Amino acid sequence: MAIDTSVKLVNDMDHPWMPLRPGDLRGPCPGLNTLASHGYLPRNGIATPTQILNAVQDAFGMDPDRAQLLAYSTMLVDGNVITDLMSIGGKSCLTGPDPPKPATVAGLSTHAVFEGDASLTCQDFFFGDNHSFNPELFDQFVDFSNRFGDGFYNVTVAGELRFQRIQQGIATNPQFSLVTPRFTTVYGEAAFPLVFFVDGRKADGRLSMQDALGFFRDSRMPDDFHRTDESKSGGLVNTFIPQIFGAHPTQPGRNYGSVNTFTVDPNSAGLDADCSLYEHFVNDIVVPLYPNPQGVLKDNLNANLGFFFGPFKQGNCTRIFPYGQ
Ligand code: HEM
Ligand code: MG
């Protein structure tokens, strides 16, 4: 049966928003937080990659390749591949017994494996809390939307605000880092609200401040919210990303221990989710966490590495087998 990708009501009777219960975990991704608070993901914030894949497509119309790349890259660095569970927030014993260190299995809030600096509504890790909604940063989000988007977050605002957050990091965070994969994800994440947080019946790339506050602060969809059309969402995101980048082209790099020491890193992958990004993620991020896996751990790492490779295969990348074939 063909998968239904159409615009449809997703804030429905079966998925009511509910406030957090003691112990429920939320993290740095407003998309996944919202899915958990509407019951598209387990409300406690502990999920399998399959649940995440299904939920982001069903409730937000995210294109399957992007969903697969996100779900399995994060599973490999932040999840427990033995129990197949990941926290969408901080570390939790609910993901089961940890594999041997240096693996961390510490959830999506873990800094510098996937989560990174220059988020639009969360502070940099250096300042303490890298995962909670930050009201001052949201004030800046509103201010930029008023100045550049007539009160809406649109692609022009995204270009200006994306650059502003990078400049703020360079000027205030001695540890500021914008290298692979963060250099790529910052642009995608600035585009996501334009596509996935805008009602699919409208799909005009203009997000109201009221709706933005609902998603970013309260993990809540607007009443009567309809998801966007999955067959169009991937193309839209791919159109917005170069526009956001093109407003103020930047290069990957980092500060070196003091502010305003930003130095370009020529070894970092560029804007596209290309083969060098794939290779870097496997060799320099996954393998150091799992230098010598054995048995089930090795088998499950290989399986997850295979799922992570899926979207890159279509880009004609060559698969890497760090643990043998
Ligand atoms: C940010 C994971 C899907 C919207 C993030 C971050 C993580 C993450 C770890 C934090 C990065 C950072 O800002 O430092 C994931 C995973 C997904 C997923 C594993 C699985 C498919 C989605 C979806 C949406 C979304 C479907 C939209 C509906 C966002 C936005 C940000 C973000 C807007 C940036 C927040 C900010 O800059 O303040 N995501 N995400 N994500 N995510 Fe997701
Ligand atoms: Mg961040």
**Total domain count, the chain:** 1
Predicted local distance difference test score (pLDDT) of residue 153: 99
Which residues, including other chains, have CB under 8 Å from residue 261's CB and lie 6 or more apart?
174, 255
Predicted local distance difference test score (pLDDT) of residue 325: 86
Question: What span, in angstroms and rounded, lies between the C-alpha atoms of 194 and 206?
Answer: 6
Residue 266 falls within a domain, yes or no? yes
Q: What are phi and psi of 233, to 5 degrees?
A: -65, -40
CA of 299 to the centre of ligand 2 (A): 31
- 144: how many CB neighbours lie within 10 A of its CB? 21
pLDDT at position 272 over 80: no
Residue 19 falls within a domain, yes or no? no
Residue 99 falls within a domain, yes or no? yes
- Starting at the edge strand found earlier in the chain, the sheet holding 253-254 runs 177-178, 253-254, 263-264
Residue 324 falls within a domain, yes or no? no
CA angle 279, 233, 52 (to 5 degrees): 60
pLDDT tens, residue by residue, 94-140: 999 999 999 999 999 999 999 999 999 999 999 999 999 999 999 99
Provide the CATH number for the domain around residue 281: 1.10.489.10
**Segment 238-256 mean pLDDT:** 97
Task: Provide the percentage of residues in the chain whose pLDDT is more than 90.
Answer: 95
pLDDT at position 236 over 80: yes
pLDDT tens, residue by residue, 187-213: 999 999 999 999 999 999 999 999 999
**Segment 289-301 mean pLDDT:** 98
Predicted local distance difference test score (pLDDT) of residue 187: 98
**pTM assigned to the model:** 0.98
Question: Which has the closest alpha carbon to 240: 147, 142, 154?
Answer: 154
CA of 58 to the centre of ligand 2 (A): 25
User: Which residues lie across from 253 on neighbouring strands?
Assistant: 178, 264
**Segment 10-24 mean pLDDT:** 98
In this structure, what token pair is assigned to residue 114?
A: 């996937």
Residue 16 falls within a domain, yes or no? no
Residue 3 falls within a domain, yes or no? no
Which residues, including other chains, have CB under 8 Å from residue 233's CB and lie 6 or more apart?
60, 61, 62, 63, 195, 196
Which ligand 1 atom sits nearest the alpha carbon of residue 53?
21
Domain containing 287: what range?
30-315
As to burial, measured by CB atoms within 10 angstroms (0-12 exposed, 13-18 middle, 19+ buried), residue 3 is: exposed
Residue 100 falls within a domain, yes or no? yes
Task: Provide the percentage of residues in the chain whose pLDDT is more than 70.
Answer: 99
Residue 322 falls within a domain, yes or no? no
The pocket around ligand 1, CB under 6 angstroms, is made up of: 28-32, 52, 56, 60, 62, 67, 70-71, 74, 108, 114-116, 119-122, 189, 192-193, 196
